[in-house]
Amino acid sequence: MVRALDRKLLRDLRRIWAQALAIALVLGCGIMVLVGAQATLRTLDGTLAAYYDRTRFAEVFSTLKRAPRGVLDDVALIDGVAQVEGRIATLALVQVPGMAVPATGQVISHASEGAVLNLPVLRRGRMPLPDRLDEVALSEPFAEAHGLIPGTQLRVILGGQSRELTVTGWVLSPEFVYALGPGSVMPDDRRFGILFMPEPAVAAAMDMTGAVNQISLRLMREADPRAVAIALDRLLAPYGGTGAHDRERQQSHAFMTSEMHQLSAMSTYAPPVFLLVSAFLVNMVLGRLIALERPQIGLLKAVGYSTREIAWHYLKLALLIGAIGIAAGWAAGFWMADAMIDLYAEYFRFPFVRRAANPSALVTSAALGLGVAVLGGGRTVWQSVRLPAAEAMRPPAPASFSRGVLDRALDRLALRQTSVMILRSILRWPGRAAITLFGVSASVAVLVMSYFMFDSAQLLGASVFGAANRQDLTLALSEPEGEEALLAARSLPGVVKVEPGYAIPARLVNGAAERLGAVQAHWEGATLARLVDDHGAEVALPPHGLVLPEMLARALDVGPGSWLEVELLAPPRETLRLPVTAVFAQGMGQEAHIAAPALFAALRSVPQVSQLHLSLDAAQRGALDARLGSLPAVAGLIDWVEVERQFQTLLRENLLTMVTIYTAIGMMIAVGVIYNAAQILLSERSYELATLRVLGFSRREVAYVLVGEMMMLTFVAIPLGWLAGTWLAQGLVHAVSSDIIQLPLAITRRTYALAGIAAAVAAFGSVQVVRRRLDRIDLVSALKSRE
C-alpha cells in the first residue's frame, strides 16, 4: 500500500519533472565521465597486462653495436634474470607499390624455434620459414594500409642491397603497440612498418652471423629492474651497449602509460565540476519547493507527522532525482566506455580486448551522486521542516523593500521601470543570483577547458611543423659520417638546401636521478631544423653547456647553473660533465641540446652528421624519390609534409569529437542552471508579473523582466567563467602532463568567445522555454496567490 507521503512525492516529482530532469542530466554528465573513463582505463590496463603476459613481453631491454651470441649465457647469470633472448634488428627502406617515397621498416630477426620473449601474434597467414630467406611477415597496420596480403612481393633495401621478399603473414607485436618510426613525432602506418624475417636472412644481410645487437630480459618476481639494467650495461659496455632500460622507458609502453595517465586524470578532474553544479541545482529546486509548501508542512505537522518523517519525505525527492541522474550516467558511461575502447583498440591495434567490469567505479559514482543530492537538499530541508506547525502554516515574512543607497543610485540612472525591477531583484536576493552565476560560470569554464585542448594541440603543431621543422625531408643515416655527406646530399636532384643534424645516445645523470635520451647538436645559422619553444620562439644556444626541456630538467631535478654527468652510449663512450645553462618549455622531446662546436670540442673529434635535413624543389620531387631507394647510406626518412597532414587529420577527427562532447556537456550545464533559475523566478514573481499585465504592460515588456534578469546574470557570469576555465585548464595541464608529453597552456580569444557564445545561446534558449509559460499564465490565479 502506497503511503500518503509517497503519493505526494510522486505528484511533486511530476510537477517539477522538467527541472528534475535538468538536474539529473547535469549529474549524469559527471557520472558518465567517471564511469566511462574508469571502465576504459580498467579495460586497457587488463588488456595490456594480458597481452604482455601471453606474448612474454620483456622487462629490460638493451641495444648494442654487436656482441657474440655467447654473451647471452653471461647475461643469464645476472642476479634476477629469468629469461634472456638476443636478436638482430636494423632499419631498412621498403619500396611499396603506389608510394613514391620508400617507407621505413624496422627489421627484426625471428627465430621460429626457441623464441621465448616478445612473441609476435599471428593475425593472418603464417610466419616465415627458417630456411626461406626471401620471406617476411609484416606488422598488420602497415600491411593493411598498403593491401600487402600474404603472397605479395615486396622490395626491401637491407644492408645496402635490394632484395625481393614474399609476404607470408600479418602480425602484431607487444613492442609496437604504439609504433613510432625513427625521429617521428606520431605513428604513421603508411610510412613505418615492422618486418619479421628469418634470423639467417637478417644475419647474412647485416654480416652478423653468430651475433646479436638487441637483448631482452624477463626478470624474477623479486628482481629490481634498475639493478639488472645497471649490471647489463656493465656487461655489454665492451660490445657498444647504448644503455639498458626497463619497461617504463620502452617507447611503446611509455606512450601507452602516458595515454592511460591522461585518461585517469580526466576521470578524476572533470566529474567534480558536474557534481558541484548538481548540488547547487538540487538546493535551488528543493529550496523553492519547500518554500512554496510551508503551509503543507505545517499542516502535516498538525495532523501528526514528525519532523523526521517530513524531512525524509523531501530528502527522498532529492535522492530520487539523484538516482535518475545515476542511472542516466551509468547508461551513458557504458556507451562512452564502449566507444572509447573500440577507438583505442583500433588505434593501438590490440590483438584482443579483455573488457573488464569496474564495480568500484559504479559504487563510487552512486555514492557521489546520492551524496550530492543529500548535500544539495539537506540543509534547506532541515531549516524548513524544523519550524513549529503554527509558524510554518503562516506565510514567510515579506522581504524588506525600504529604500537604500542602491535604490537611490538606480534612480540616478533613469532606467525603465522594468529594468529597475531586474536590478532590484538581483540586489534583494543576492544568494539566488550567486547560485545562478556559479552555474553559468561553471558551464563556461567547462567549455574553455575543452576548447583549450584544441588551442594547445594547434600551438604544439605550429611549433613542431611551422617553426621547428621547416624542412621537407629528413634522411636518417645508417652510420654517422663526416660533413662531406652534406656535399653528397646537395648533388641529389631537387635538393635546394641541406642542413646537418647529429645526435648521440646518452645517459643523463644527476645524483640518483637519471634519464636515457640523447644529446642533440645544433649548428649556428640553421633555418630548417631549429630549436624552438612551445610558442615557436627560437631558443638561443650558448657557446657551451646544455639546454634542457622543462620536463627533462624536472625529472633530473636540475636548473640553470646545475651540472650533469653525460654518459655517452656510443663511441667515444666517455662520461662528460657539462653545465646546464638554460631550461625552456617544450611539449615533446627528451633530448638535451648543445651547440655543435661545443659538443665536438668536448668529444675531441671533427664534426659528424647522423641526419640530413633537406629543402626540396617540388618540381623535381619524383626524381629525388627515385634516387632515395638506391642510397645504401640512408636507413630511414621522414616526410614532414605527410607527417603534418596526418597530425592535422588526427587533430580534426579525435580532438573535434572530444570538443563536441564537452561542448554538449557545457551547454547542458547552462541549460540546467538557467532553466531551473527561470522556473523558480517565474514561480516567485508570478504575482508581480501578472500585476504588470493588468496595469497595461505588454507581453514583451513583462517577458523582458524574466528574460532580462537571466541574461544579465549570464553575461556577468561569462567573464567569471573565463577566469575559472583558465584555472581549470592550468590544472588540467599539470594533471595530464607526463615525461612523454606536456601540453602548452594556450587559450586564444576565439576559445573565450566560443565558450561565451555557447553559454549565452544555451541560456537564451532555456529562458525562452520558460517564457512560453509566462505567456500562458492565468492572471486571475496569479493575482490570488498569497505571494
Instruction: Indicate if the alpha-carbon torsion angle 26, 27, 28, 33 is positive or negative.
Output: positive
Q: What is the pLDDT of residue 397?
A: 58
Q: What is the pLDDT of residues 466-497, one digit of tens each?
A: 788 888 888 888 788 888 888 888 888 888 89
3-state DSSP call for residue 77?
coil
Rounded to whole angstroms, how far apart are CA atoms 609 and 473? 15
**Residues in the chain, how many?**
787
Q: What is the pLDDT of residue 183?
A: 65
Q: What is the pLDDT of residue 80?
A: 92
Torsion of the alpha carbons at 321, 323, 325 and 328, rounded to the nearest 10: -140
Rounded to whole angstroms, how far apart are CA atoms 727 and 735? 12
Does 402 score more than 70 pLDDT?
A: no
Phi-psi region of 147 (alpha: psi -120 to 50; beta: other; left: phi over 0): left
Partners of residue 705 on adjacent β-strands:
none
Secondary structure string (H, E, C) spanning 415-443: CCHHHHHHHHHHHHCHHHHHHHHHHHHHH
Q: Are 759 and 714 in contact, with CB atoms under 8 Å apart?
A: yes
Q: Are 679 and 704 in contact, with CB atoms under 8 Å apart?
A: no
Q: Which ranges in 429-504 belong to alpha helices (H)?
A: 430-461, 484-490
* Predicted confidence band of residue 213 (pLDDT cuts 50, 70, 90): very high
Percent of the chain with pLDDT over 90: 18
Nearest to 430 by CA among 143, 716, 112: 716
Q: What is the pLDDT of residue 629?
A: 64
How many CB atoms lie under 10 A from the CB of residue 778? 10
Does 410 score more than 60 pLDDT?
A: no
Does 434 score more than 70 pLDDT?
A: yes
Q: What is the pLDDT of residues 225-248, one digit of tens each?
A: 889 988 998 898 888 887 788 888
Rounded to whole angstroms, how far apart are CA atoms 87 and 97? 29
User: Which whole number is the average pLDDT over 118-135?
Assistant: 91
State how far the alpha carbon of 300 is from the alpha carbons of 142, 382, 399, 529, in Å. Answer: 73, 15, 26, 79
Q: Are 64 and 242 in contact, with CB atoms under 8 Å apart?
A: yes
- Average pLDDT along the chain: 82
Q: What is the pLDDT of residue 1?
A: 40
Q: Which residue has the higher pLDDT, 130 or 634?
A: 130
Q: What is the pLDDT of residue 401?
A: 54
Per DSSP bridges, beta strands 575-584 and 513-522 are unpaired
Q: Are 599 and 520 in contact, with CB atoms under 8 Å apart?
A: no
Rounded to whole angstroms, how far apart are CA atoms 275 and 281? 10
Q: State the cell numbers at 509.
A: 645523470
Does 10 score more than 90 pLDDT?
A: no
- Chain-centroid distance, C-alpha 302: 58
The model's pTM: 0.76
Partners of residue 613 on adjacent β-strands:
474, 499
Q: Are 679 and 18 in contact, with CB atoms under 8 Å apart?
A: yes
Q: What is the pLDDT of residue 636?
A: 73
Q: What is the pLDDT of residue 316?
A: 84
Q: What is the pLDDT of residues 558-573, one digit of tens each?
A: 989 899 998 888 788 7
Percent of the chain with pLDDT over 70: 88
List the single range of 12-21, 334-343, 657-666, 761-770 with lowest mean pLDDT: 657-666
Q: Which residue has the higher pLDDT, 682 or 38?
A: 38
Q: What is the pLDDT of residue 640?
A: 83
Does 323 score more than 80 pLDDT?
A: yes
Q: What is the pLDDT of residue 408?
A: 60
Does 386 score more than 70 pLDDT?
A: no
Residue 230: HSE in the Cβ half-sphere, 13 Å Cα cutoff: 7
Does 699 score more than 90 pLDDT?
A: no
User: Which whole number is the average pLDDT over 374-397?
Assistant: 67
* Predicted confidence band of residue 60 (pLDDT cuts 50, 70, 90): very high
Does 34 score more than 60 pLDDT?
A: yes
Backbone angles phi, psi at 491, to 5 degrees: -80, -10
* Predicted confidence band of residue 685 (pLDDT cuts 50, 70, 90): low
3-state DSSP call for residue 736?
helix
Instruction: Indicate if the alpha-carbon torsion angle 118, 58, 571, 490 is positive or negative.
Output: positive
* Predicted confidence band of residue 195 (pLDDT cuts 50, 70, 90): very high
* Predicted confidence band of residue 152 (pLDDT cuts 50, 70, 90): very high
Q: What is the pLDDT of residue 787?
A: 44
Per DSSP bridges, beta strands 103-110 and 89-95 are antiparallel
Q: State the cell numbers at 366.
A: 552512486
List the single range of 68-82, 201-215, 359-373, 398-412 with lowest mean pLDDT: 398-412
User: Which whole number is the average pLDDT over 641-646?
Assistant: 79
User: Which whole number is the average pLDDT over 344-351?
Assistant: 82
Nearest to 307 by CA among 319, 298, 317: 298
Tally helices (H) and strands (E) across the chain: 24, 20
The residue written with cell numbers 646479436 in the block is 212
* Predicted confidence band of residue 786 (pLDDT cuts 50, 70, 90): very low
* Predicted confidence band of residue 383 (pLDDT cuts 50, 70, 90): low
User: What does the DSSP assignment read for 502-528?
Assistant: EEEEEEEEETTEEEEEEEEEE-TT--S
The residue written with cell numbers 557545457 in the block is 666
* Predicted confidence band of residue 784 (pLDDT cuts 50, 70, 90): low
Q: Which residue has the higher pLDDT, 246 or 658?
A: 246
Q: What is the pLDDT of residue 390?
A: 59
Rounded to whole angstroms, how far apart are CA atoms 538 and 530? 7
Rounded to whole angstroms, how far apart are CA atoms 139 and 147? 12
Q: What is the pLDDT of residues 99-117, one digit of tens each?
A: 777 888 999 998 867 778 9
Instruction: Indicate if the alpha-carbon torsion angle 235, 238, 241, 243 is positive or negative.
Output: positive
What is the end-to-end Cα distance of the chain in Å, rounded?
Answer: 36
- Chain-centroid distance, C-alpha 388: 55
User: Which whole number is the average pLDDT over 633-650?
Assistant: 78
Instruction: Indicate if the alpha-carbon torsion angle 487, 488, 493, 498 is positive or negative.
Output: negative
